[in-house]
Every structure is written in structure tokens, then in C-alpha cells.
């Protein structure tokens, strides 16, 4: 299928992306993470996109990158603060075609250029093999509660190479 061979594009989040990214988020959680989590867990997880304005505002307030295939958004990643990956979701129809890799590659480089020495992520069980393959190591197991439903995830961490082009730290006078 030619779609599978299309190159993945990357661009920054645009204000008009909110609805498309919310749809990707819901499809990704239901169809990909649905393999590892129960129906109640999936329902409270996807409910995070029910308030479309709040969902878009969360992405707009973070460093958010969008992956595209043939010009259409198929995934996104967001960085909260200097070193925490907040959201990473790829549409099931674009799964295992390198979109997640392209997104996190770019995010790691941007974070590193901004001076981050490591990245952390509270990874879903579904994404754990993806992050492990990228060199993230498990730090701790978490159980989080959303609207009375408990979900497990794992805090994972990866050290980033030192940024040689960053300005040297200022000397004390």
C-alpha cells in the first residue's frame, strides 16, 4: 500500500489542530491501548478529550509537535516543562510506520537544544516497549486514579547527551 511508504512529516501544533488531535487521541487509546487496558479504564482515559477546548489548550500550552502522512495529522507528542513528555499518541491506521519515532526523535533534540539533560515520561503499558527501545529505563511503577478508576503506568527516564552548543554557564563575579 503506498500510504505505508509515504514519508512522515513533522510540524508544530496549530490552533486549528485541536479537533483532529482529539480524534487521534481517542482512536489511539481505544484501539491501541485498548489491548492492554480494560473498558472502564479506556473510558476515563478518553474522557480527557471530552472538553475539546481544554484539550486543545493543554496542547497549545506545551511544546507540541504533529506528525503528518500525506499532509494529514496522524500523531502528536507534547513536552510539559523542560523535560517531561506529557502526551504521545499515534492513530491506529498509522501505527508502526515510524510516526512515534519521528515525533520523539524531534522532541528529544528540541529538549536537548533547550538544555534538558534528561527526559521523563509516565508511560502507558502499551508504550513501554516503544520507550524501552529508545533507551528509556523504568524508574517506578505508578497507579493513578481518574474518576474512581485506577490505571497503571511506569515512569521512564532517558539521559540526553550534553548540549555542546549551549552557552556556557555564567561565571560568578
**Cα–Cα distance, 41 to 150 (Å, whole number):** 7
- For ligand COA, which residue of 21, 22, 33, 56 counts as binding (CB under 6 A)? 33
Q: Edge-to-edge, what's the strand order for the sheet holding 72-80?
A: 8-12, 63-69, 72-80, 84-90, 118-123, 149-159, 137-146
In angstroms, rounded to a whole number, what is the distance separating the alpha carbons of residues 144 and 7? 36
90 near 24, Cβ under 8 Å?
Answer: yes
Q: Is 124 among the residues that bind ligand COA (CB under 6 A)?
A: yes
Binder to ligand COA among 89, 112, 119, 136 (CB under 6 A)? 89
Interface pick for ligand COA out of 21, 32, 59, 66 (rule CB under 6 A): 32
Which of 13, 55, 130, 136 binds ligand COA (CB under 6 A)? It is 130
Q: Is 99 in the site for ligand COA (CB under 6 A)?
A: yes
With respect to ligand COA, which residue has the nearer C-beta, 97 or 112?
97
Report the residue number, 155 or 163, with the smaller CB distance to ligand COA. Answer: 155
Other beta carbons within 10 Å of 165: 6
Choices 48-56, 127-135, 144-152, 160-168; region in contact with ligand COA by CB under 6 A: 127-135
Collapsed DSSP state (helix, strand, coil) of residue 31: helix
Rounded alpha-carbon distances, angstroms, from residue 131 to 52, 142, 167: 28, 16, 30
On the CB side of 95, how many CA atoms lie within 13 Å of its CA? 15
Q: Candidates 15-23, 111-119, 123-131, 162-170 — which segment interacts with ligand COA by CB under 6 A? A: 123-131
- Taking CB under 6 A as the criterion, the residue among 6, 80, 98, 157 binding ligand COA is 98
Q: Which residues of this chain interact with ligand COA, rule CB under 6 A?
A: 28-29, 32-33, 88-90, 95-101, 121, 123-124, 126-127, 129-130, 133
Amino acid at each position: 500500500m503506498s500510504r505505508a511508504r509515504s514519508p512522515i512529516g513533522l510540524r508544530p501544533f496549530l490552533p486549528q489542530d485541536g479537533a483532529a488531535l482529539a480524534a487521534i487521541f481517542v482512536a489511539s487509546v481505544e484501539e491501541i491501548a485498548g489491548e492492554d487496558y480494560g473498558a472502564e479504564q479506556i473510558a476515563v482515559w478518553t474522557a480527557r478529550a471530552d472538553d475539546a477546548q481544554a484539550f486543545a489548550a493543554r496542547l497549545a500550552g506545551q511544546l507540541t509537535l504533529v506528525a503528518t502522512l500525506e499532509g494529514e495529522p496522524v500523531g502528536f507528542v507534547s513536552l510539559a516543562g523542560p523535560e517531561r513528555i506529557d502526551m504521545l499518541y499515534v492513530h491506529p491506521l498509522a501505527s508502526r510506520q515510524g510516526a512515534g519515532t519521528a515525533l520523539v526523535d524531534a522532541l528529544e533534540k528540541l529538549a536537548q537544544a533547550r538544555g534538558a539533560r534528561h527526559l521523563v515520561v509516565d508511560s502507558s503499558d502499551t508504550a513501554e516497549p516503544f520507550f524501552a527501545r529508545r533507551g528509556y529505563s523504568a524508574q517506578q511503577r505508578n497507579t493513578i486514579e481518574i474518576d474512581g478508576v485506577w490505571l497503571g503506568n511506569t515512569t521512564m527516564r532517558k539521559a540526553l547527551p550534553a548540549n555542546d552548543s549551549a552557552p556556557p554557564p555564567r561565571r560568578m563575579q
